[in-house]
Amino acid sequence: MKLVTLVLCTSASGLILSPKTGTAALDAIMVRKYDSLPQPSNVIQAEYVWIDAIGGTRSKTRTLPASKSALSQLPKWNFDGSSTNQAPGDDSEVIIIPRASFPDPFRPQGKNIIVMCDCNTPGGEPIKTNTRAFAAELFAKHEAEEVWFGMEQEYTLFNLDQVTPLGWPAGGFPGPQGPYYCGAGPENMFGRAIGEAHYRACLYANIDISGTNGEVMPGQWEYQVGPCVGIDAGDQLWMSRYLLARVCEDFQVYCTLHPKPIVKGDWNGAGMHTNVSTKKMREEGGISVIKTAINKLAAKHKEHMAMYGEGNELRMTGALETSSMEEFSCGVANRGCSVRIGRDTEAEGKGYFEDRRPSSNCDPYIVSGKIMDTIMEDVEVPEIVLKNRELAMA
């Protein structure tokens, strides 16, 4: 007869750890025991991050010489693409090439880094899910334009059941929208600690995060990245999403980028409003360049909508601060339009415009590349009429 011994796991604080692995909070003292171990100064840990087949992020770690940690010195690596639906089993190797590097906020005890990579075949060709290559090719044609992007990423927090938004009663609904947007107090704000932790992680990683706020629907938050120039906007936004996933992992909270996570009732969806400004838009008389760009976007409305994220039709109904998915519109300070011109831009006659159509789960590489490609086209298009007609400018 075999002797079976039951071992009770205890933490450094002497408390018995929960046997419910994966959903229990990690014991902080036990974690610190290993985090406090000194790291050899001649090596670093590099976390290689890539985008998977369904628009999520994956990563794995390698040890590299500290003397060769500059982006230009980082080696290519590979992963098993058959396990991520990015390659067949009989030819499963996907090559990941470092494209951007950031300080690692989860390993602050050394000069460790997180590396944004794109995915390629062993022959050096971008694989189907490598949308960065699509954007990089477009941006390379217009480097002199210094296109700035500011991206407003909305997200919704849920309990681990992935059914109940954070702060909502199980099986029910909270009070109607109104007190939650930029609110305060335990009855209004759910998940602030997660937003704050993510903010600090982004700052440590040198992400150009410019702000954060609670959103209209309870349990929903937003942060802004930018202004960033060209392809850097997509690199930073994707890395910020990875950091958000890691923070939520630590807090054991589920985060979704679905554009309409709650379809029953009058609840706002989630988007990734994208602010755009070219060098000419920022110069005197730039408002005319802005209006010309918006006219070009209007002419390709359906083409853009097909590239602005899955499930967007659930969000863009023409209600709850959205425009209709079927019709392009533009207005000054009008958040019910496809594209908004800000009051400051109207008053100064230069600045930027905001494309409010991209969904929260859109691909920032595709969105930024497509917007730039459209507004840079040398074509004649019809002029649209602003919805705020009394504010329309000649």
pLDDT at 1: 40
pTM listed for this prediction: 0.91
**DSSP strand pairing (43-51 vs 113-120):** parallel
Mean pLDDT score of the chain, rounded to an integer?
91
| Closest C-alpha to 224, from 274, 272, 275, 152 | 152
Residue 79 CA to its chain's centroid (Å): 23
Going by pLDDT thresholds of 50, 70 and 90, the confidence category of residue 9 is very low
pLDDT tens digits along 200-253: 999 999 999 999 999 999 999 999 999 999 999 999 999 999 999 999 999 999
pLDDT at 218: 96
pLDDT 10s digits, 239-290: 999 999 999 999 999 999 999 999 999 999 999 999 999 999 999 999 999 9
The region of weakest confidence among 76-85, 296-305, 343-352, 373-382 is: 373-382
18: confidence class by pLDDT, cuts 50, 70, 90? very low
% the chain with pLDDT above 70: 92
- Kindly tell me if the per-residue pLDDT of 22 is higher than 80: no
Mind listing the pLDDT tens digit for each residue in 123-173? Answer: 999 999 999 999 999 999 888 889 999 999 999 999 999 999 999 999 999
Give the C-alpha separation, 72 to 299, whole Å: 40
Q: What percent of the chain has pLDDT over 90?
A: 81
Q: Is 150 helix (H, G, I), strand (E, B) or coil?
A: strand
Q: Which pLDDT band, with edges at 50, 70 and 90, does 388 fall under?
A: low
Q: What share of the chain is helix, strand, coil (3-state, %, to 5)?
A: 30, 25, 50
Q: Quote the strand ranges of 71-147, DSSP E.
A: 77-80, 93-103, 113-120
The closest alpha carbon to 84, from 119, 34, 44, 38, belongs to 119
Is 74 in contact with 117 (CB distance < 8 Å)? no
**Stretch 40-46: mean pLDDT:** 97
Instruction: Give counts: helices (H), strands (E), the chain.
Output: 9, 13
Question: 97-106, 112-121, 379-388 — which is least confidently predicted?
Answer: 379-388
pLDDT value, residue 25: 52
pLDDT exceeds 70 at position 5: no
Q: What type of residue sits at position 146?
A: E
- Among 9-23, 77-91, 94-108, 177-191, the minimum mean pLDDT is found in 9-23
Residue 17 pLDDT greater than 80, yes or no: no
Distance of CA 394 to the CA centre of its chain: 36
394 pLDDT above the threshold of 80: no
- Say whether 321 sits in a helix, a strand or coil: coil
Determine the pLDDT at residue 392. Answer: 38
